[in-house]
Amino acid sequence: MTQAKLIDGNEFSAGLREQITARVQEIRDHHHVIPGLAVVLVGEDPASQVYVRNKHKRTIECGMNSFEHRLPVDTSEHQLLNLIEGLNDDPAVHGILVQLPVPKHIDAEKVIEAIRPDKDVDGFHPMNVGKLASGGLGLIPCTPLGSMMLLRDHLGSLSGLKAVVIGRSNIVGKPMAHLLIRESCTVTIAHSRTRDLPAEVRAADIVIAAVGQPEMVRGDWIKPGATVIDVGINRIALPDGKSKLVGDVNFAEAVQVAGAITPVPGGVGPMTIACLLRNTLTACARLHRLDIPEAKPWS
Ligand code: GUN
């Protein structure tokens, strides 16, 4: 059997970052504005530290200002909300991201709701969630946005296709389903209580796996020729004591059946940061009323 086409997120995200860099340069030269992203990290979660470091590096690389706020783990909710209030009012800051998870004594929902919706580059504020659901022009969560860019690039129109989203998180599953509905897909949202998950997946032309279970989706669940977007990033231990990253899809099996598939690493992962930069540029352009093609960011 022929192998699936690999959807290369490294290549696509590099192209996107190049476009963003050019746009940032243009805005600097013609409007004397430098887009700025503020990233807030509370505590010392090792995975979050890696993410925040990468975000800082990529933000600087594309010519934007990066404002990093690393706060100790015992920072109070009140202190964090005060910092966000300051960033909301700071004209040099166009995007605000509070890295999740926050420590247990802080209410993440309160924190998300404190961020100005027009600076909420994560797209998690209820105002942006509502706009995505109702077809309005808000800010779209980065991982679903990046996944949709890859899908549109590979398939062109998605109109009429059947899509299954495995996972119903606020960060990926639910916003991904809304984006697919916007593109006129027929959408099923599957989750841990779904009765016959393999049957739901077998019916789908597009499979979005976002459950956080290493290699859970098996090759014989995939409809031949389907497009598979693997959002999972799971670190698993190997017998020799080393470890490796795998997705939520059993890649070795699925690649024999699918029409196209994103690898892990190198698929959706690099798209997330590129879309964060894209959202920061979008927020900056809207705040300064600059003209950028933003109605459908992936077209
Ligand atoms: N932690 C894991 N993913 C995300 C994300 O997309 N945004 C934020 N703020 N934190 C995260």
What number does the ligand 1 atom closest to the CA of 97 have? 9
Looking at the fold, whether 193 and 240 belong to one and the same domain comes out as yes
Q: Hey, what are 263's tokens?
A: 């690898």
Looking at the fold, whether 258 and 192 belong to one and the same domain comes out as yes
Backbone angles phi, psi at 166, to 5 degrees: -100, 110
Looking at the fold, whether 263 and 159 belong to one and the same domain comes out as yes
Looking at the fold, whether 104 and 153 belong to one and the same domain comes out as no
**Gap from CA of 99 to ligand 1 centroid (Å):** 5
122 Cβ inside 6 Å of ligand 1: yes
Of 116, 133, 155, which residue sits at a domain end?
116
Residue 165 or residue 298, greater confidence = 165
Report the C-alpha gap between 223 and 225 in whole angstroms.
6
199 Cβ contact partners less than 8 Å away, ≥ 6 residues apart = none
pLDDT score for 98: 98
Looking at the fold, whether 251 and 164 belong to one and the same domain comes out as yes
Shortest-distance Cα residue to atom 3 of ligand 1? 100
pLDDT score for 294: 54
pLDDT score for 293: 64
Spacing of C-alpha 90 from chain mean position: 25
121 Cβ contact partners less than 8 Å away, ≥ 6 residues apart = 37, 95, 96, 97, 139, 142, 276, 279, 280, 283
Looking at the fold, whether 50 and 149 belong to one and the same domain comes out as no
Tell me: pLDDT of 3 over 70. Answer: yes
**Gap from CA of 232 to ligand 1 centroid (Å):** 13
Q: Do the domain assignments include residue 137? A: no
Residue 135 or residue 99, greater confidence = 99
* CATH number, position 229: 3.40.50.720
pLDDT score for 119: 98
Backbone angles phi, psi at 35, to 5 degrees: -60, 140
| Domain count along the chain | 2
Shortest-distance Cα residue to atom 8 of ligand 1? 99
Q: Across the chain, what does the average pLDDT equal?
A: 96
Q: Do the domain assignments include residue 295? A: no
Tell me: pLDDT of 64 over 60. Answer: yes
Report the C-alpha gap between 218 and 220 in whole angstroms.
6
Q: Do the domain assignments include residue 186? A: yes
pLDDT score for 2: 82
pLDDT score for 1: 62
Instruction: Provide the residue type at 124 as one letter.
Output: F
Q: Do the domain assignments include residue 292? A: no
97 Cβ inside 6 Å of ligand 1: yes
Looking at the fold, whether 80 and 196 belong to one and the same domain comes out as no
Residue 146's domain comprises 142-270
pLDDT score for 296: 45
Tell me: pLDDT of 295 over 90. Answer: no
Tell me: pLDDT of 165 over 90. Answer: yes
pLDDT score for 291: 78
Q: Do the domain assignments include residue 82? A: yes
Tell me: pLDDT of 257 over 50. Answer: yes
Compute the average pLDDT of residues 183-212: 98
Looking at the fold, whether 67 and 156 belong to one and the same domain comes out as no
pLDDT digits (tens, 9 = 90+) for 7-44: 999 999 999 999 999 999 999 999 999 999 999 999 99
Q: Which residue has the tokens 């690393």?
A: 70
Catalytic residue numbers, as ranges: 55, 99, 122
Report the C-alpha gap between 280 and 284 in whole angstroms.
6
Compute the average pLDDT of residues 115-121: 98
Shortest-distance Cα residue to atom 2 of ligand 1? 100
* CATH number, position 107: 3.40.50.10860
Q: Do the domain assignments include residue 73? A: yes
142 Cβ inside 6 Å of ligand 1: yes
Kindly compute the dihedral angle of the four CA atoms of residues 162, 164, 170, 175, in this order, to the nearest 10 degrees. Answer: -20
Q: Do the domain assignments include residue 46? A: yes
Looking at the fold, whether 68 and 146 belong to one and the same domain comes out as no
**Gap from CA of 108 to ligand 1 centroid (Å):** 12
Q: Do the domain assignments include residue 154? A: yes
Q: Hey, what are 228's tokens?
A: 């598979």
pLDDT score for 62: 98
Looking at the fold, whether 100 and 146 belong to one and the same domain comes out as no
Tell me: pLDDT of 275 over 70. Answer: yes
What number does the ligand 1 atom closest to the CA of 100 have? 10
**Gap from CA of 256 to ligand 1 centroid (Å):** 32
Compute the average pLDDT of residues 141-165: 98
Hey, which of 39, 171, 271 would you mutate to test ligand 1's pocket, going by the most ligand atoms within 8 Å of its Cβ? 171
**Gap from CA of 111 to ligand 1 centroid (Å):** 13
